[in-house]
Amino acid sequence: MGFKMGIVGMPNVGKSTLFNALTRTAAAQAANFPFCTIEPNVGEVPVPDNRLDKLAAIASSKQIIPTRMTFVDIAGLVKGASKGEGLGNQFLANIREVDAIAHVLRCFEDGDVTHVDGRVDPLSDSETIETELMLADIESIEKRLQGLVRKIKGGDKDASQQDRLLRAALAVLEDGQPARSLTIDDEDAKAWKLLQLLTAKPILFVCNVEEANAASGNAFSEKVAQMAAEQGAGHVVISAQIEEEISQLDAEEAEMFLSEMGLEEAGLDRLIRAGYTLLELETYFTVGPKEARAWTICSGTLAPQAAGVIHGDFERGFIRSETIAYDDFVALGGEQPAKEAGKMRSEGKSYLVKDGDVLHFLFNT
């Protein structure tokens, strides 16, 4: 399991340039005019994790398999998108399929790259996109409520739950707040997610700055950071232009380039880490001579469900997991030394898997 992040924003804010860089492809046409992305481009990228390389080296694994993240580049939205302006409707539908939204905001001045509204104002851009998503949610909710009436009269409990959640969402939306501002009880969490409301999705603001400000940000990105903090959202500062240049270099050249720019890591790494934090995701590992592999789970996942990420049979027939903490595996030099040192634990069905755990599952077939 990786996760799917939709890249949204106004036209000409650097979305497609960022997508091209992140996926190391020119699949998305980056051009200086609105709506150059006609279909949502989808790209999968391996999630960088230095821990996986260290584990593979210790175990002499023949193959290294990182977990993967999917980026969806969705065409530029404009005011009126919820009513079909620009290419709005079809792209709003594409956003429903993602786990989180990366909202790219233009935080740079450049007379050669036109802004659809003729000025640089990331907070206003954010408000425009959020408003369109909220209007689309309101329209969707009103239609769905009408469709639930007959089912509710027939005593359908699921329909009653949906009706209750949709009405709660409608109330906050009509009050000018996104659906994610609602607090959802655990028993409603699954049904809530299935509603696929656009404004219920976690949001990560991506400040696209010029090269000179890639390391420290600028006045625009500082305003976005303050807005993100007020909303309880994530934010990251990236120069899409730098990321595009890095994508054309090999690993050694990229490292030198980043050092020259005063950056410790590529924007891809920061973006993925921010996305993991936003969605409360963790990574565990399976390691052996054949392969070292990373698996993504939600924080708070029990061992049987973590096993199920590999295969459903692992979860259904779960017996126990042999567990070694990452730090112990590395410090002691592998599985056998860790076992001899008493650092391998046998954990049952109630074990909450921790980030970095090296696991081996035992199960009945």
Domain that holds residue 186: 3-278
State the Cα–Cα distance between residues 219 and 209, nearest whole angstrom: 10
Boundary of a domain, candidates 221, 245, 278 = 278
Q: Specify if 292 maps to a domain.
A: no
pLDDT band at 14 (very low <50, low <70, confident <90, very high): confident
Say what the alpha-carbon torsion angle 150, 82, 183, 153 is, to the nearest 10 degrees: 0
pLDDT for res 39: 53
Q: How far is CA 63 from the centre of its chain?
A: 26
pLDDT for res 76: 59
State the Cα–Cα distance between residues 228 and 324, nearest whole angstrom: 37
Residue 115 has pLDDT above 70, yes or no: no
Mean pLDDT of the chain: 86
Alpha helices in 119-197 (DSSP H): 122-153, 157-174, 189-194
Query: Does 233 lie in the same domain as 117?
Result: yes
Query: Does 318 lie in the same domain as 264?
Result: no
- The DSSP output letter for 63 is E
Query: Strand pairing partners for 298?
Result: 281
Query: Does 216 lie in the same domain as 101?
Result: yes
pLDDT for res 20: 81
Q: Specify if 208 maps to a domain.
A: yes
Query: Does 310 lie in the same domain as 220?
Result: no
Count structural domains, the chain.
Answer: 2
In CATH, what number is assigned to the domain containing residue 176? 3.40.50.300
| % pLDDT > 90, the chain | 54
Query: Strand pairing partners for 237?
Result: 207
State the Cα–Cα distance between residues 365 and 295, nearest whole angstrom: 22
Query: Does 304 lie in the same domain as 274?
Result: no
pLDDT for res 317: 95
Better-predicted residue by pLDDT, 110 or 286: 286
Query: Does 74 lie in the same domain as 36?
Result: yes
Give per-residue pLDDT as tens, 340-361: 999 999 999 999 999 999 999 9
Find the mean pLDDT for residues 49-73. 92
Q: Specify if 285 maps to a domain.
A: no
Q: Specify if 88 maps to a domain.
A: yes
pLDDT for res 324: 98
In CATH, what number is assigned to the domain containing residue 354? 3.10.20.30
pLDDT for res 3: 81
Residue 328 has pLDDT above 50, yes or no: yes
pLDDT band at 38 (very low <50, low <70, confident <90, very high): very low
Query: Does 222 lie in the same domain as 304?
Result: no
Amino acid at the residue 95: I
Give per-residue pLDDT as tens, 242-268: 888 888 888 788 889 888 888 888 887
State the Cα–Cα distance between residues 215 and 95, nearest whole angstrom: 30
Locate 317 and state its tokens.
């027939």
Residues 6 or more apart whose CB falls under 8 angstroms from that of 209 comprise 107, 108, 217, 218, 220, 221, 237, 238, 239
Alpha helices in the chain (DSSP H): 15-23, 50-59, 88-95, 122-153, 157-174, 189-194, 219-231, 240-246, 251-260, 267-279, 303-310, 312-316, 326-332, 335-340
Residue 30 has pLDDT above 70, yes or no: no
Residue 172 has pLDDT above 90, yes or no: yes
Query: Does 176 lie in the same domain as 322?
Result: no
Query: Does 154 lie in the same domain as 271?
Result: yes
Locate 33 and state its tokens.
């005019």
pLDDT for res 35: 39
Query: Does 334 lie in the same domain as 199?
Result: no
Query: Does 346 lie in the same domain as 198?
Result: no
Better-predicted residue by pLDDT, 189 or 29: 189
pLDDT band at 10 (very low <50, low <70, confident <90, very high): confident
Better-predicted residue by pLDDT, 154 or 169: 169
pLDDT for res 202: 92
